[in-house]
Amino acid sequence: MILAPHEPSAAQRRRQAYRRRQTVTSVLVAAASTAALGTLLVVAVTGAPGWDRVRASFADPAIARDALPEVLAGLWLNVRLLVCCAAGALLLGLLVAILRTLRGPVFFPVRALAAGYTYTFRGLPLIIVLYVLTLGVPGLRLQGMPPVLVLGGLALVLTYGGYLAEVFRAGIESVHPSQLAAARSLGLTYRQTMRHVVLPQAVRRVAPPLLNDVVALQKDVGLVSLAGPIDAVRAAQIATAETFNYTPYIVAGALFVLLAIPLIAVTDWVTLRAARRQGR
């Protein structure tokens, strides 16, 4: 038996047509309001007193063109440092979070050490950790001292590991204890329970704040320039010192924003997906 194709009723067709008209109208209104606001802002900024001096000091096309290759070369160092530090901070944060959630009095010293680490590095300003590790530690002149760039990356990993540890711990503790009991009743060990039951749910639940911390780390990798490595910020500083013009800093800032846009878009997508899953 062949069923006839479903034909929408007249009322349903009218509703669909109305929704299409509303969508088109909303898009046109949004585009018109955006264009109007953008035009107003451009006119207000370019017509303000002193705009010519601001443009000459911060938006000189010739200086931007000359500084761009060096700033791009420095940005590649920031990208590599971001990848390494993000991976290290995620692993360290996960390890500390697991240590903080261990049960039993015998693990109290481990929990205390993990808690002390998170309290310390969440309270310490990142710039102090950078100064201590990149300027103070090399002054000891110990044998086998790693390069300053490695010490700067270590400062970022230690600092962000404390933040990520609390995010992971919140995700682990959000899993209902009945799921742990059910897993143990099926014969799973504690390690198997954490690996197959708890951690997959915990990571899925805290993915948006984890990605937000990675976005923040993407900005803070520029602070390693304080220790001397020529990244995008240091390259912009050198170009500014040569020309006494701040356009290279604007170029470096624009590149950092472009670098952050994909991470921010992924974060928003993951957040929206988690909200829809929770709503269902």
Query: In 3D, which of 249, 237, 233 has the Cα closest to residue 60?
Result: 249
Closest CA to 273 of 199, 208, 214, 212: 208
Please state the pTM of the whole predicted model.
Answer: 0.81
The mean pLDDT of 117-144, rounded to a whole number, is 90
Q: Which of the pair, 278 or 31, is modelled with greater confidence?
A: 31
CA distance 183 to 199: 13
Domain ranges of the chain: 63-279
Q: Is the model's pLDDT at 157 over the cut of 70?
A: yes
Q: Which two tokens stand for residue 174?
A: 């959000």
CATH number for domain 63-279, candidates 1.10.3720.10, 1.10.150.120, 1.10.287.3610, 3.30.2010.10: 1.10.3720.10
Give residue-wise pLDDT tens across range 164-216: 999 999 988 888 888 888 888 888 888 888 888 888 888 888 888 888 899 89
Q: CA triplet 146, 148, 152: central angle to 5 degrees?
A: 105
pLDDT of residue 5: 64
Q: What are phi and psi of 125, to 5 degrees?
A: -65, 140
Q: What percent of the chain has pLDDT over 90?
A: 42
